[in-house]
Amino acid sequence: KYEDVRNYPDRYIDLCLFNGAIRTSENEEMAHLLRQKSKVLVAFGSCAYEGCIPALSNLTTAEATLRTAYLESPSTDNPDGVLPQPVTQVPEGELHIPAFYNTVKTLDQVVPVDYYIPGCPPEPHQIWAVLEAVIQGAELPPPGSIIGAGTVAVCHECPLEKHEKQIERFYRPYEITPEPGLCLLEQGIVCLGPATRSGCGALCPRVGMGCRGCYGPLDGVEDQGARILSAIASVVGVGTPEEDEAELERKIEAVMETLADPAGTFYRFSMARSLLQRARVGGNGAGKGEAR
């Protein structure tokens, strides 16, 4: 199949929806190949657009990721401690597999991208609207635009009522039954709706689950995690300005301790596209063939 694509003339494919982040050398090779063979290349879904959940491994190293998957997980049976290698000698010869990169990247960090369709997954009606526009020859927005999504925050299409209520702790979904019809964030359930682009119809908040942020940041926002941190800070209500500064800081820290996995929550979908991109860790941990 790869050879078939390589044999296409350049720009033979009218529209390519590229799904997935750039995790391996094979992913990167296909990104370059499909860019060469496509008139229009679309980063399709959160992985291609922002890195998505795979990019949370940017908080550690490739080596640590492989050790967790192949050696340390409870369900793994690997008594010989074998880890994947780009080249392995076997009696029949050499086995080659793609290099596993140290850093997960977005599609547009390796090739130019024409458009972005966010979502994990993108909503079917949004996908069809984009395909219909292309099929009918409608005028498309300028290259680099986000299509198949809204322009306001998820909160603007969410039916839950907001009352400017402040909270003293956060709850994980299993710890509380939310009161129907009321804003989840104001009940202490982390919701990324204030920092996430609309287009999904607020599906998660409508059924009592906080928005996870899969449609990405709003226009003009460079870091979705920083924006949600600001929104969360606005609903935390502990202490008074007259209190001792040390006591006030202690109360704030106590509230934040009830917020599970801040990095994984705020950057669940956007780590590779964020200002952070990855954590600085000791050792290079890079897969062979990749020093980034």
pTM higher than the cut 0.75? yes
For the structural domain made of 2-73+80-146, what CATH number should be given?
A: 3.40.50
pLDDT in tens, 254-265: 888 999 999 999
HEC sequence for the chain: CHHHHHCCCCCCEEEEEEECCEEEHHHHHHHHHHHHHEEEEEEECHHHHHCCHHHHHHHCCHHHHHHHHHHHCCCCCCCCCCCCCCEEEECCEEEECCCEEEEEECHHHCCCCCEEECCCCCCHHHHHHHHHHHHCCCCCCCCCEECCCCCCEHHHHCCCECCCCCECCCECHHHCCCCCCECCHHHCECCCHHHCECCCCCHHHHCCCCCCCCCCCCCCCCCHHHHHHHHHHHHECCCCCCCCHHHHHHHHHHHHCCCCCHHHHHCCCCHHHCCCCCCCCCCCCCCCCCCC
Mean pLDDT of the chain: 91
- Confidence bin at 253 (pLDDT 50/70/90): confident
| Sequence ranges of the domains in the chain | 2-73+80-146, 154-273
Mean pLDDT calculated for residue range 7-36: 97
pLDDT at 282: 58
pLDDT in tens, 28-81: 999 999 999 999 999 999 999 999 999 999 999 999 999 999 999 999 999 999
pLDDT in tens, 113-134: 999 999 999 999 889 988 998 8
